Amino acid sequence: MKRHPSLIPLSHDHQRSLALAVMIDRRSKPDEELARKAQAMWRDELQPHFAIEERDVFPLARGQEELTARLVAEHRELERLALAVGQGEDLRAELEAFGRRLSEHIRTEERRLFEAMQGALDDQAMAEMGRKVAAAHRPPTCDLT
């Protein structure tokens, strides 16, 4: 299903986050630079993104309360994993856990939640959500090259 314009800024964030997850997965030897990128993306992009979803998107997902509760719990888990990157003795394991969980989470939001919302909400509700998302959304700041 084509993504509704109201959700496009969040889907673009998801694409960037998936790019980070792929970088983590494909890096043969995770290093401090990749850890810094993951931490910067967490701090500057993912935290604000999660706040927008929890405040402006999830409450509108009527009939999806079990899924949105799970997604909020995953946000907290991703926070814990992001903050653990570089704090232990196994940087590779820390990054891989964060990247794998981030990828799984994004795919659930895109494939299940966003699809369900697009099918259930009328144009007025989607437009109102889109206005809220657009007002709060920030352009990406993290360098993923």
Asked, for residue 144, whether it belongs to a domain, the answer is no
141, part of any domain: no
Q: Quickly state the pLDDT bin for 29 (edges 50, 70, 90).
A: confident
Mean per-residue pLDDT for 9-37?
92
* 48/37 Cα distance (integer angstroms): 16
Q: Is residue 116 part of a domain?
A: yes
> Do the domain assignments include residue 18?
yes
| Digit-coded pLDDT (tens) for 85-111 | 999 999 999 999 999 999 999 999 999
Nearest of 17, 6, 1, 3 to residue 140 by alpha carbon: 17
pLDDT in tens, 41-72: 999 999 999 999 999 999 999 999 999 999 99
Domain that holds residue 32: 5-136
Instruction: With respect to residue 94, please indicate whether it lies within any of the assigned structural domains.
Output: yes
pLDDT value of position 27: 85
Structure tokens that stand for 16 in this block: 């960037």
